[in-house]
């Protein structure tokens, strides 16, 4: 094992969360400016982890909310025939946890990359996503795989469960504002809640899932035609369906209204809901700044601005 650094980043779901669990398409964007790194250093003994989520031994992590990631690490050690190898794994994350930005998937992606680099092995994308699903399944129950695909991608993703993600292109203009309600989203709980609704009244809720899928397809066309106005409308309609599915909250609804009143073309929650973040689409940077200021004034804990023209690659 040699010292290595695996990198990943945040993601947001532009459209299609929840329906994506039921094989509808979703569109997600990598937010490369919000980064996570996993640094793996060999040491003579002790298998240790230091992160904002958990600090301590790998063994003790099994009984914490880091258990899913700990299981992934154990399986990676076994795969590389290094179960007795001492190490210090340091995870530094700019992603807020449990806010719909993909922090658990980003952690898994960075760790898998660090392990493959540490053992000098090439890592094809399918293998990376496969590994990330080990912890994602333990943490979220029935994940679509979208988070891992997007926290490891450099381009917007067109994603359908169990299919190879496709890269999408963003319009040359348009700015997204991301705002954090400051309360945790609960992916497993939200996904379970939607599953219960579908089980209880399939005739009523299945069309909601299909409708979200259709919105996403039209959304991809709007993106391809650089049609931000239509995209904004679609996002707002998507939010109505997410409300029907019971995953929005009064705080998310309020921020959506505030963003629209401040000039956003459309707004919605992003990720699993029941807390976490919302997103608003603005036509340009100055409108986005107004929207971000209004959201902060309305109680958003943090806001980020993602300008399509810079592709968020820090250049």
| Residues in the chain, overall count | 315
Q: How far is the CB of 65 from ligand PMV (least distance, A)?
A: 14
Total residues interacting with ligand PMV, rule: CB under 6 A: 18
Q: Which of 81, 147, 307, 312 is catalytic?
A: 147
Residues 6+ apart with CB under 8 A from 201: none
Of 191, 212, 234, 245, the residue at the interface with ligand PMV (CB under 6 A) is 191
Helix axis angle, 228-244 relative to 202-224, nearest 10°?
Answer: 160
User: Judging by DSSP bridges, how do beta strands 87-93 and 157-159 pair with one another?
Assistant: unpaired
Told to check if 208 binds ligand PMV by CB under 6 A, we report no
Q: How far is the CB of 12 from ligand PMV (least distance, A)?
A: 8
Site string for ligand PMV, 144-183 (x = CB under 6 A): x-xx------------------------------------
For residue 68, give both structure tokens.
């899913």
Of 25, 30, 185, 232, the residue at the interface with ligand PMV (CB under 6 A) is 185
Q: How far is the CB of 233 from ligand PMV (least distance, A)?
A: 21
Told to check if 143 binds ligand PMV by CB under 6 A, we report yes
Residues 101-140, interacting with ligand PMV (CB under 6 A): 102, 140
Pick 1 or 267: Cβ nearer ligand PMV: 267
Residues 6+ apart with CB under 8 A from 65: 53, 54
Nearest to 22 by CA among 246, 206, 165: 206
Q: Is 147 a catalytic residue?
A: yes
- Taking the C-alpha atoms of residue 275 and residue 292, their distance in angstroms, rounded to an integer, is 18
Greatest C-alpha distance within the chain: 60
Q: What are phi and psi of 26, to 5 degrees?
A: -140, 155
- Taking the C-alpha atoms of residue 46 and residue 57, their distance in angstroms, rounded to an integer, is 7
Residues 260-289, interacting with ligand PMV (CB under 6 A): 271-272, 276
CB atoms within 10 A of CB 155: 15
Residue nearest to ligand PMV (CB): 271
Q: Which residues in this chain contact ligand PMV in the complex, by CB under 6 A?
A: 17-18, 20-21, 100, 102, 140, 143-144, 146-147, 185, 187, 190-191, 271-272, 276
């Amino acid at each position: 094992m040699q010292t290595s650094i695996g990198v990943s980043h945040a993601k947001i779901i532009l459209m299609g969360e929840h329906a994506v669990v039921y094989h509808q398409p979703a569109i997600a964007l990598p937010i490369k400016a919000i980064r996570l790194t996993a640094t793996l250093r060999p040491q003579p003994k002790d298998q240790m982890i230091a992160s904002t989520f958990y600090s301590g031994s790998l063994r003790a992590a099994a009984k914490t909310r880091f258990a899913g990631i700990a299981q992934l690490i154990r399986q990676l050690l076994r795969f590389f025939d290094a179960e007795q190898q001492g190490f210090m794994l340091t995870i530094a994350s700019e992603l807020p946890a449990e806010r719909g930005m993909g922090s658990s998937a980003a952690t898994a992606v960075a760790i898998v990359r660090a392990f493959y680099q540490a053992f000098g092995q090439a890592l094809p994308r399918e293998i990376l996503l496969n590994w990330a699903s080990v912890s994602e399944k333990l943490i979220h129950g029935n994940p679509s795989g979208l988070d891992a695909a997007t926290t490891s991608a450099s381009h917007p993703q067109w994603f359908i469960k169990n299919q190879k993600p496709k890269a999408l292109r963003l319009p040359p203009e348009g700015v997204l504002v991301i705002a954090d309600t400051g309360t945790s989203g609960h992916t497993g709980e939200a996904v379970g809640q939607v599953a219960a609704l579908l089980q209880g009244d399939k005739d009523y809720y299945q069309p909601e899932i299909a409708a979200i899928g259709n919105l996403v397809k039209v959304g991809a066309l709007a993106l391809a035609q650089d049609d931000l106005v239509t995209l904004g409308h679609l996002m707002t309609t998507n939010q109505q369906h997410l409300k029907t599915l019971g995953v929005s909250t009064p705080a998310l609804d309020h921020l959506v209204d505030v963003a629209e009143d401040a000039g956003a073309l459309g707004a919605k929650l992003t990720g699993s809901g029941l807390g976490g973040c919302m997103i608003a689409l603005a036509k340009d940077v100055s409108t986005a700044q107004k929207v971000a200021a209004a959201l902060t004034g309305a109680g958003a804990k943090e806001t980020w601005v993602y300008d399509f023209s810079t592709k968020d690659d820090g250049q």
